[in-house]
Every structure is written in C-alpha cells, then in structure tokens.
A and B are shown apart, each in its own frame.
Chain A
Amino acid sequence: MQFEYSIEGGNFSRAGYASSEVKKKLKQLNVDLQVIKRVVVALYEAEVNVVAHAYNGRMEVEIDKDKIKLALVDSGPGIPDIDKAMEEGYSTATPEVREMGFGAGMGLPNIKKNVDVLTINSVVGKGTTVQMITYI
C-alpha cells in the first residue's frame, strides 16, 4: 500500500495533518499500537522539520506486511552538516518554531531512536530527503 501527502513549508496550523492521517491508516490496518506510536512520533518530528525549515515537501508512505517505509522529501535550504544536525541540542530553528514547542535540537535524534533505519540525504540550496524504515 502506497500513498503520498504534500507538506507546506511555514504552515504550522497544518503541521501534523499528514502524520495524523498515517496514524489513522495504521490503526485501520491493525498494526501493533507500540509500533504505531514509534512510527508516528518519528513521522511527526520529520513533518514538523519540513514545515519549520523547508519551502515545501511531500511525505511518501509505503506499508507492506513486514515494514513501514516513510520518506520526507523537501525543497529547501538543505542541511550543511548532517552529523552536527544529529547532535542532541543543536538547532537552527527560528524563534517562531521555538514558540511552537520545538527547535530544541531533539528532532533528528528522536527520529533515530524511534525507527529501525534512518537515512538522510541533503544538498545545500536544493533540499533534504529523510528516509525511515520500521520493521513490523
């Protein structure tokens, strides 16, 4: 099963909508509740990152019987130093993002904790692709 959602950069009132839809689908498919929680927490963090940092993006979701594959593909400024971005506490978030309760430099480390495979590819000035795989 495959589906896709678009994500609008800067639109905080809609941030989380796509992750919420994925959560509903996973529940319908009777995926284990602990697995759903791990997947959607990682997905929501990644969606908020796109809203916070990119101009626009999309969420690609692929569910099969043994794994959930998610990709967040954005057009945006990119990440100059991915290793630095993975450090807890490092953040380039704006004050607006911090007012939303994010931007503490915990997003990417928390994503890593919640998925089985995390791959980040980024080109400065073009955009970032975050791929996450969770085995069911």
Chain B
Amino acid sequence: MKLQEIANKIDGRVITATNNGSMTYDMAFASDLMSDVLTLQNDNMVLITGLATLQTIRTAEMADINCIIFVRNKKVTAEMVKLASDSGIDIIECRYSMFRTSGLLFQSGLKPVY
C-alpha cells in the first residue's frame, strides 16, 4: 500500500512524505515499546505507535522503518518532523486507537510481522 492509501483507510493526515509518498508498504507492527521494535528483522514496514517522542523517530531510523503512524491523536513536534524528513521517514497522524488503526490496516491487506 502507498502512503496516501494508508492514510485514507484510517482517516489520517500525512505529515511527511518521502519521495512524494511513492514507497509501497506491505507489513506493519504495532507497539509503544521501542525495545520490541528494535528486535524486528523486517525492513520496509509501517510502525503503528502511540509513543510520540524523538526516540520513536530514532528507533525507526535505526530499524530501517520508513513509515510511522502516530495513533490516539498524538501530535509530532517540529523537531520530530525534521528528523523524520532528514531520515526519509513518512509520518501519518491518526485520531483512532491503536486497535482500530491496526484492524483497519489488517483488513486492507497489510500483513503482520509475526
């Protein structure tokens, strides 16, 4: 799924879009625990999280995750947007819960990591 398609499914707002949102995603992982995210081996996936800190962006950068969806109406800061843009990370803000967001995206075809 493309970035805008993902945003549309969850009534989300695209905050940063790398390469005009051309990247395609086929897997997702939902967690507020960055230590869990850092154990994943997969690339090119979407992280669904309610943890809106600079360390969320850093974690995605280290784990080669190119898209983060911030759920529960969490807002990203200007510093987070800058770091995400510099690191080539797409960001979507979404007002739905993590459960609802995950359900909608699962239904739309995004695969779980395990």
Contact = CB atoms under 8 A, between A and B. Distances in A.
B32 A37 contact: no
Interface in A34-53: 37, 40-41, 44-45, 48
B107 interface: no
B56 A101 contact: yes
Contacts of A122: none
Interface string B36-75: 1111000100000001011110110111100000000000
User: What is the size category of the interface that chain A forms with chain B?
Assistant: 20 to 34
B58 A106 contact: no
Which one of B37, B61, B62 has the greatest number of beta carbons of chain A within 10 Å?
B62
B62 A100 contact: no
Interface in A6-21: 12-13, 15-16, 19-20
Interface residues of B, number: 22
A45 B33 CA distance: 13
Nearest to B86: A20
Contacts, number: 68
16 contacts: A12-B53, A12-B54, A12-B55, A15-B55, A16-B54, A16-B55, A33-B64, A41-B63, A44-B58, A44-B59, A45-B35, A100-B51, A101-B33, A101-B59, A102-B34, A104-B33
Interface of B: 32-39, 43, 51, 53-56, 58-59, 61-64, 79, 87
Interface of A: 12-13, 15-16, 19-20, 23, 33, 37, 40-41, 44-45, 48, 99-104, 106-107, 110, 113
